[in-house]
Structure 1
Amino acid sequence: MSQPMADAPVTESERLSFSVFAPDDAALLAGLHSDPEGERYLFRDGMVWSEAYATSEIAKWRQTFADKGYSKFKLTRNSDGAFLGRAGFGFEETHGVAELGYTIIRAEWGKGYATEAAARLARWFFEEDLDDRFIAFAVPENTASVAVLRKIGMREIAPLTIKGIVCTSFEMVAAR
């Protein structure tokens, strides 16, 4: 699959655009993952992302998009192009399946962006026929994220242990 043009949306929802991260987005991504409050549920052990680390993650995500047709996407607001975070799919190697995830900048929490992003991505994943199912998980204390996954219609499955932490886990299966 070829890379879309820089900032060209892969998909959109009412308020959001999803595009493949460009290499020059590293500062935005590092900033997103440098807020300790926003990072507390992301299994990074307090790690703050450097631009170099963000650059390496962007390269991996771009390769995942080329290989699998999905990725962790740059999330921007349609009305003004403001960067809101990231949302999309990674490949969860332990379970061999796509995994939905999202991180919204703290200043934009509580505005429904995570729910809108997760719902649009779920529909897009099956519209594009990327696979028959995907999973998502959250630490139980992250009640907002667990609520988003339930709200978009994901079905709770047996807990998964990720990096030694037992997570509330969900799956969504294509309607065939």
Structure 2
Amino acid sequence: MQYDDIQQTLTTERLCLRLFDESDAATVTELCNNYNIYKSTLTLPYPYSVDCALSWIQQHRHNFDTDKHYEFAICDRATGEIYGAIALSNDQWYDHGEIAYWVGEPFWGKGYATEASEALLDFAFHVKKYHKVYARHFASNPASGQVLRKIGMIQEGILRDHVRKESHYEDLIYYGIVKR
């Protein structure tokens, strides 16, 4: 993983993780206005509108500049096509943060979430000097758990019926990794 502090981008073999721009709102809307994405995410609204995308994107620069939250577009390194998003929270008091991501359904199963998560983990430990990174996923989304295990995270616990999603409750499975 390479990090360009001036451009605020991370690059991997296939991907470029970069800050979102307002011009990305239409693509974000197209990818997020998908019930299968909604049902696997904690806070994503559905239906998802351009206004949702714009209000979300407009917060990113401030969050990044104030070291509160780092939100990146997951893009093809060669073409710039957006595949999804990945974020890292920053709890400076405890030297840790949470990774969260979504990938558009047309791009599922290609390893983009894993590759982006590995890059963000490296960013957390080596650039931001975190002690720990954690993540969580719905029990109904085991593919997300596979991504977390692939990047070396260990399951730390399950919060039973922790979140109400539509008409039912979901278990949240927590994973974590400590800097070695």
- TM-score class, shorter-chain normalisation, is 0.7 to 0.9
Q: 1:68 to 1:44 in 2, by over 3 A?
A: closer
Deviation at 1:170, TM superposition (A): 0.7
Q: Is the 8 A contact 2:139 2:170 kept in 1?
A: no
SS of residue in 1 equivalent to 2:177? strand
Q: Is the 8 A contact 2:41 2:102 kept in 1?
A: no
1:113 maps to which residue?
112
Conserved 8 A contact 2:95-2:129 = no
Superposition TM-score, scaled by structure 1 size: 0.83
Q: Are residues 154 and 103 of structure 1, via their aligned partners in 2, closer, same or farther at CA, if it must alter by over 3 Å?
A: same
Partner of 1:173: 178
Q: Is the 8 A contact 1:36 1:46 kept in 2?
A: no
**Alpha-carbon distance between aligned partners in 1 of 2:136 and 2:98, rounded to the nearest angstrom:** 8
Describe how 1:1-176 pairs up with structure 2 within 5 A. Answer: 8=7, 10-44=9-43, 47-68=46-67, 70-90=69-89, 97-160=96-159, 161-162=162-163, 165-175=170-180
Q: Which amino acid aligns with 1:23?
A: E
Please provide the CA RMSD for this pair.
2.5
Q: Which runs of 5+ in 1 are unaligned?
A: none
In structure 2, runs of 5+ residues without a counterpart are: none
> Aligned residue pairs: how many?
168
Q: Check whether the contact 2:156–2:174 (CA below 8 A) recurs between aligned residues.
A: yes
Q: How far did 1:55 drift?
A: 1.1
Report the residue type matching 1:169 in the other structure. Answer: Y
Q: Give the 3 Å change call, closer, same or farther, for CA 10–113 of structure 1 in structure 2.
A: same
Q: 1:71 touches 1:89 (CA, 8 Å); kept in 2?
A: yes
Q: Pick closer, same or farther for the CA change 1:60–1:170 going to 2, 3 Å.
A: same
CA contact (8 A) 1:64 1:90 kept: no
SS in 1 for 2:36: helix
Contact 2:96 2:131 in 1 (8 A): no
Deviation by residue 1:108-143 (Cα, 9 ceiling, x = unmatched): 111111111111111121111242212100001111
Q: Secondary structure at the match of 1:71?
A: strand
TM-score (norm 2): 0.82
